[in-house]
Amino acid sequence: METSSLLFWKPGPNVKLSVPEVARELTWGEEVDGLIDLPIREIIDRLKVAFPKHQEKSGHLIGHGLTGSFEATWTWQHVTVQCHDLPADDRQRLIDAIETFDCMAYEGKA
C-alpha cells in the first residue's frame, strides 16, 4: 500500500519559519506564529463535494477515490491528509480543492 502525507496551511506575511520548519511544528502539534486561520468547514465541505464517497466523524474525514482513499484531520491552522493508494488524478483533485482557499501544499513523510 502506497501512503503519502500532505499538509496544507495558509502562510501570512509574518511567518518567520521556513516551509520545512512550519511543517515540522504542525506535525508535532505546535501552533505556528504568522499562519492565517483556515476556513475549515468550507474546506471540508469542498472535499466532500470533490469526493462524494466519504465518511465524516468529529475532526476526521475519510474520502474515497476511484481506487484509493485519504484521511483528513485538521486544526484551525492546518489540514493533514494521509493518502492511501490514491491515484494521481484523485490526489491532484484533493490538492486543487484545498488550494482554492489559498493554502499551500507540502508533501511530508508518511
Residue 58 is predicted with a pLDDT of: 86
How far is 51 from 37, CA to CA, in rounded Å?
A: 24
Instruction: Give pTM, 2 decimals.
Output: 0.91
Whether the Cβ atoms of residue 86 and residue 94 lie closer than 8 Å to each other: yes
74 closest CA partner among 95, 50, 44, 104: 44
Quick check: 110 pLDDT over 60? no
> Strands, DSSP E only, in the chain?
3-9, 54-57, 60-64, 69-74, 78-84, 104-108
Residue 25 is part of a domain; what is its CATH number?
Answer: 3.30.310.250
Q: Mean pLDDT in the chain?
A: 93
**Helix ranges, the chain (H):** 19-27, 40-50, 88-99
75 closest CA partner among 54, 103, 49: 103
Residue 15 is predicted with a pLDDT of: 93
Please give the tally of structural domains in the chain. 1
Whether the Cβ atoms of residue 101 and residue 10 lie closer than 8 Å to each other: yes
Q: What is the mean pLDDT of residues 27-43?
A: 95
Residue 69's domain spans which residues? 3-108
Quick check: 1 pLDDT over 90? no
